[in-house]
Structure 1
């Protein structure tokens, strides 16, 4: 059986084991989110025999240096793995804001010790001690002097339990800035833009929306937010304020009981429409299916799925 080596530790795994699962099951904390090769949260450096199912997800330079996405690799022989060490490799960041946007959504604002260059909608791994979680950025670099994240705290979890106890002045560590499917492209200026989110999937789309408005997007913008109930529309006020100042923006707030009826009424106004989707996989799948049935070409839909832990 192949052997995995991490630091001074080594253990046997079955041939064909998923590298991410093999590491986490052995207590080696490797964060992840999408498990599809898009968020890059599970980046590790490997030396040994792994079968990479998604080699094009990384640049040739990264692959030459041994970097792999653990979620996309199967163990085929002995492998030595170097994981991210937040104390050695991470960037220190101070908590400058922590408040509840609703009964279940915690807004966390961080000030890194040095500026980060990023685009609205990208991912960043946040470390609290040895606990890590990748989150999408809800902040806008040109307007916000902090990094903002929207944390879904409806269910208990290692990171969310820590986050509930955070106070202004506390320090966390940041991992490497990752890509992300949801970014605004200036070439979209005149095209209809639909932003569909469920839960805290609204976070990155909040940043993308503000970036589109900052760049004076000329096409119609339709934002739809799906929540469990009315309390879950945690940005209803700020969204209404934006809509009041931008005639091309419409905002729709859906709750779970309304979903099927609301989806059935979705109609495309233009085949040039672009759709950005974010949130729980079930919601993203429901949005996607309806948009395809409505005639939206697949290459005009971009999605970022928030995979539940466990």
Structure 2
């Protein structure tokens, strides 16, 4: 039976046990969210031994060389010694510059990292509270233009991080974990192509960053933004989007609630076979978007999606 060692703790586990499950069952506090290798909240570093990694491509080669693995994707096949990601030791320090409500359920969080952070519009970061609660959130800010890192937190439902976030105030310290993402981005080669951005809820956050990046780079093709919200009050960026429409004639914005969505999607028609689509939100919404775009004639390799997975 393999032995799993974490600090001074030694656990005997069944062969091929999932590493995250073994750690949790042994009482080791490991944050996790998606269990699919996307959020990177469950990072651990292998100190001795090597697990069977089911998704080695999820981490960049440098992180893997340093011994980092995603616990949710690994199985224990031999004796293994690991250490859990420690935000105080391994994370980047940041301070809250501002936190305010953009709507009844959306908290805008602006952070100032104490060390420079290079990122692309559309990526996401794992945020850590000082009590060790971790959750991945997409960046809504624009690199090299906004002086802060901006996040839009959906607080409609209770959750460990969102509940803690309700008490955040300017000056509070947070830690930044792994920078991830890349499916949602803007490519300079797209300048003449029609661009559709379809978002549900706070899935609008990364697409808002991508939209501003496209406009900053002088995108020449048409841009269509569709935002799905449970109700009208959920269109938390309605005003800044309306302002962008007045400044950029190639931009069209549609704000829909759940009842309006089927009819609006049924009317979608491709203006060009070169149209690209970026999709973000809950998996059900993204699947609905994807299916309708495919039926409208858009090839799947022209759709780029990021899923906001519910906590496992």
Q: TM-score, normalised by structure 2?
A: 0.93
In structure 2, relative to structure 1, the CA distance for the partners of 1:35 and 1:250 (3 Å cut) is farther
* Worse-superposed segment, 22-31 or 128-137: 22-31
Q: Which residue of 2 aligns with 1:8?
A: 8
CA distance change for structure 1 residues 114 and 65 in 2, over 3 Å: closer, same or farther?
closer
Where does residue 95 of structure 1 map in the other structure? Answer: 96
Distance 1:36 1:267 in 2: 33
RMSD of Structure 2 on Structure 1 (CA): 1.9
| Paired position in structure 2 for 1:247 | 249
Worse-superposed segment, 38-47 or 201-210: 38-47
Q: 2:299 matched to 1:297?
A: yes
**1:32 offset after TM fit, Å?**
4.2
Q: Which moved more, 1:288-297 or 1:215-224?
A: 288-297
What is residue 122 of structure 1 aligned with on the other side? 123
Distance 2:134 2:62 in 1: 26
- The aligned residue for residue 166 of structure 2 is 164
Q: Deviations over 1:136-192 (max 9, x none)?
A: 111111221111100000111111111100111111111232233211111111111
Secondary structure at 1:15 match in 2: coil
Give 1:27 deviation, angstroms: 4.5
CA deviation vs aligned residue, 1:252-297 (integer Å, no higher than 9, x gap): 1111122222222222221211111111111111111111222211
Pairing of 1:1-310 with structure 2 (within 5 A):
1-46=1-46, 47-129=48-130, 130-310=132-312
Question: CA distance change for structure 1 residues 241 and 304 in 2, over 3 Å: closer, same or farther?
Answer: same
Report the CA distance shift for 1:87/1:60 in structure 2 as closer, same or farther (over 3 A): closer
After TM superposition, the structure 1 stretch with the greater mean CA deviation from structure 2, 89-98 or 214-223, is 89-98
1:96-152 residue CA offsets vs partner (Å, 9 max, x unmatched): 101000000000111111221111111111111211111111111122111110000
Structure 1: distance between partners of 2:283 and 2:17 = 24
In structure 2, do the counterparts of structure 1 residues 26 and 300 end up closer, same or farther at CA, with 3 Å as the change threshold?
farther
Query: SS at 1:260's partner residue?
Result: helix
Q: Distance between the aligned counterparts of 1:4 and 1:301, measured in 2?
A: 41
**3-state SS, counterpart of residue 68 of structure 1:** strand
Gaps of 5+ in 1: none
After TM superposition, the structure 1 stretch with the greater mean CA deviation from structure 2, 208-217 or 252-261, is: 252-261
Alpha-carbon offset, residue 10 of structure 1: 2.9
Is the contact made by 1:49 and 1:79 (CA closer than 8 Å) also made in structure 2?
A: yes
Give aligned pairs, total: 310
Q: Kindly tell me: are residues 102 and 63 of structure 1, through their superposed partners in 2, closer, same or farther at Cα, counting changes over 3 Å?
A: same
SS of the residue corresponding to residue 17 of structure 2 reads: coil
